[in-house]
């Protein structure tokens, strides 16, 4: 059996492992990006400091986001005067938000969301990863900075679970496209530049570098949605150890016996045991260094030779099985990254991809499509009066009704909380209104198992020449939903 297969399988294992971490980090931070975009576009948030009445609404809005996702440590807004709007946190004396790193990097990256910043919380000294964005009010002035923090330790636990790895030295971390390290289990490495450590201008998908006199092998995958790169590395020396560690006990026994037996058997033992093992190590090192083996070597026809062959097969089989598990896991992770776990519908990220695809088709062919945005009327009171488990049941039943009664071409998704969005390709606004009314009536007549009717309010928007982008289309649908709410709820508005 060719030893090159071992190197290939190890490379494949690292690639699959790195890809699974890519999907995890991509899903984790894509939702954080979406949260910031949603909040930054909210009129109350943008104009928070120009209207005193906005503060209570905004604090409640931020609290709802915090309660809906345990991955959020803090979510807050800094004012240009240095003050901070945040729930359940008292800034220390002399606190000035404008000198905090998350505020500075947001201004530097304006108008985009910051690339990601590791920093220590000023009071607890806990390490956090922050995403932030400049807020622009209705007068096109900078009105503050909104930021979301998540725990660095939580991310390290996700990326470096020792119960799910073949190698002790395995380490996974995250850098920006510029090479700055933003997630790493060693906090001393944070904010250092990986390209400078590697002494290169960029890194390839699979390469090697030396750090503190240790040769390391790594693979890398890009997360284009957040402009990051995920790197998984192991010590190169561990590959040799991984192949030979199953021999360790046998080697110790052999060496002990050699000492006891003495010089009489030293030559025999050297020929039968030491030489094959040294040849195995030499050939293995050649494989790891990607050098060509110029001659074939036959293990001796004895117990050691048979053990070497058997352990070689066991090692290759273990790597094969691990790679197969990683393939299956990646398929599951991809499905999780596109599906809302509670309802089984598409999640917001997946439907946004379909929206952009449909908008591209519209720009090219000038076809038509519409969207239906709706939410459950008085959903908070359902949670308050019947409990969150009943609220979850209502959302799941509502999703089942959508799957059953919508057309095959319609794409429903859970947009956030109790809010849903339906993409209707090749459908004008009037036909979307028919679909919306059908769903509204079905929901209002359906028995959800509680002593009150469950209703929905719907807003419709149709793509047209006055709608320059997807965001404008969503704003139009949201305004119509707002009108439906103000019209007594349980109705549909298309204007």
Establish if 321 belongs to a structural domain: yes
With CA atoms as reference, report the closest residue to 374 among 477, 279, 495, 235. 477
**Are 37 and 135 in contact, with CB atoms under 8 Å apart?**
no
CA 148, CA 416: separation in Å to the nearest integer?
A: 17
Establish if 21 belongs to a structural domain: no
Q: Is 229 found in the same domain as 292?
A: no
* pLDDT band at residue 122 using 50, 70 and 90 as cut-offs: confident
DSSP letter for each residue of 158-210: HH--GGG-S-TT-EEEEEETT-BEEE-SSGGGTT-BHHHHHTSSS--SEEEEE
Q: Is 483 found in the same domain as 353?
A: yes
Q: Is 150 found in the same domain as 79?
A: yes
pTM: 0.51
* Domain count along the chain: 4
CA 45, CA 19: separation in Å to the nearest integer?
A: 36
pLDDT (tens digit per residue) in 45-72: 989 887 777 889 999 999 999 999 999 9
* pLDDT band at residue 316 using 50, 70 and 90 as cut-offs: very low
DSSP letter for each residue of 347-386: -HHHHHHHHHHHHHHHHHH---EEEEEEEETTHHHHHHHH
Top mean pLDDT of 130-144, 186-200, 297-311, 393-407 is at 393-407
Percent above pLDDT 90 for the chain:
55
The tokens for 113 are 């969301």
Q: What angle do CA 315, 317, 321 make, to 5 degrees?
A: 120
**Are 418 and 382 in contact, with CB atoms under 8 Å apart?**
no
Q: Is 122 found in the same domain as 50?
A: yes
pLDDT (tens digit per residue) in 192-241: 888 888 887 667 777 888 888 888 888 999 988 888 999 998 888 876 66
**153 C-beta neighbours (distance < 10 Å), count:** 13
Mean pLDDT throughout 140-144? 92
Q: Over the range 406-428, which residues count as b (16 or more CB within 10 Å of their CB) and which as e?
A: beeebbbbbbbebbbbbbbbebe
Q: Which of 127, 155, 183 is the last residue of a domain?
A: 155
Domain holding 463, by residue range, is 348-493
- Among the residue ranges 32-36, 137-141, 233-237, 366-370, the one predicted with the least confidence is 233-237
Percent above pLDDT 70 for the chain:
82
Q: Is 221 found in the same domain as 232?
A: yes
pLDDT (tens digit per residue) in 76-94: 999 999 999 999 998 988 8
418 in catalytic set: yes
Mean pLDDT throughout 333-343? 86
Top mean pLDDT of 41-45, 250-254, 453-457 is at 453-457
Q: Is 481 found in the same domain as 387?
A: yes
CATH number of the domain bearing residue 187: 3.30.450.20
Q: Is 446 found in the same domain as 318?
A: no
Dihedral sign, CA of 436, 439, 442, 444?
Answer: negative
Establish if 8 belongs to a structural domain: no
Distance (Å) of CA 327 to CA 20, 167, 427, 461? 9, 18, 38, 40
**Are 116 and 131 in contact, with CB atoms under 8 Å apart?**
yes
Q: Is 49 found in the same domain as 146?
A: yes
**Are 48 and 85 in contact, with CB atoms under 8 Å apart?**
yes
Catalytic-labelled residue, pool 26, 115, 352, 418: 418
| 216: phi then psi, degrees, rounded to nearest 5 | -125, 145
pLDDT (tens digit per residue) in 415-459: 999 999 999 999 999 999 999 999 999 999 999 999 999 999 999
What local confidence, expressed as pLDDT, does residue 299 receive?
A: 65
- Does 1 have pLDDT greater than 50? no
The tokens for 355 are 């929206």
CA 249, CA 352: separation in Å to the nearest integer?
A: 57
Q: Is 357 found in the same domain as 328?
A: no
């Amino acid at each position: 059996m060719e030893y090159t297969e071992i190197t290939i399988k190890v490379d494949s294992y690292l690639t699959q492992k790195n890809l699974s971490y890519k999907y995890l980090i991509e899903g984790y931070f894509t939702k954080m990006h979406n949260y910031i975009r949603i909040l930054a576009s909210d009129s109350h948030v943008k104009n928070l400091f120009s209207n005193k009445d906005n503060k209570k609404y905004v604090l409640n809005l931020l609290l709802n986001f915090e309660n809906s996702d345990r991955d959020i440590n803090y979510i807050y807004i800094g004012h240009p005067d240095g003050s901070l709007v945040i729930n359940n946190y008292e800034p220390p004396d002399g606190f000035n938000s404008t000198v905090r790193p998350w505020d500075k990097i947001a201004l530097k990256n304006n108008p985009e969301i910051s690339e990601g910043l590791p920093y220590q919380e000023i009071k607890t000294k806990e390490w956090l990863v922050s995403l932030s964005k400049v807020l622009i009010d209705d007068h096109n002035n900078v009105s503050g900075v909104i930021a979301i923090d998540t725990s660095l330790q939580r991310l390290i636990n996700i990326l470096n679970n020792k119960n799910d790895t073949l190698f002790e030295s395995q380490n996974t971390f995250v850098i920006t496209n510029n090479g700055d390290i933003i997630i790493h289990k060693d906090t001393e490495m944070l904010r250092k530049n990986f390209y400078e450590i590697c002494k290169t201008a960029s890194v390839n998908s699979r390469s090697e570098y030396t750090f503190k006199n240790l040769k390391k092998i790594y693979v890398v995958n890009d997360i284009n949605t957040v402009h990051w790169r995920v790197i998984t590395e192991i010590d190169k020396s561990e590959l040799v150890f991984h192949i030979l560690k199953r021999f360790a006990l046998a080697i110790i026994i052999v060496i002990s016996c050699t000492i006891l037996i003495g010089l009489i058997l030293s030559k025999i033992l050297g020929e039968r045991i030491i030489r094959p093992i040294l040849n195995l190590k030499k050939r293995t090192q050649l494989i790891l260094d990607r050098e060509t083996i110029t001659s074939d070597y036959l293990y001796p026809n004895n117990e050691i030779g048979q053990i070497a062959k058997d352990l070689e097969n066991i090692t290759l089989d273990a790597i094969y099985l691990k790679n197969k598990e990683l393939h299956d896991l990646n398929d599951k992770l991809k499905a999780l990254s596109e599906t809302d776990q509670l309802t089984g519908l598409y999640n917001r990220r997946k439907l946004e991809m379909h929206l952009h695809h449909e908008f591209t088709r519209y720009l090219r062919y000038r076809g038509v499509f519409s969207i239906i945005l709706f939410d459950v009327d008085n959903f908070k009171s359902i949670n308050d009066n019947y409990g969150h488990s009943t609220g979850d049941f209502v959302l799941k039943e509502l999703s089942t009704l959508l799957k059953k009664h919508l057309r095959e071409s319609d794409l429903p998704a859970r947009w956030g909380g109790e809010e849903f969005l339906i993409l209707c390709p090749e459908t004008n606004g009037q036909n979307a209104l028919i679909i919306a009314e059908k769903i509204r009536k079905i929901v209002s007549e359906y028995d959800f198992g509680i002593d009150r009717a469950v209703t929905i309010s719907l807003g419709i928007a149709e793509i047209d020449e006055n709608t320059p982008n997807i965001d404008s289309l969503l704003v139009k649908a949201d305004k119509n939903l707002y009108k439906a709410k103000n019209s007594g709820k349980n109705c549909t508005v298309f204007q």
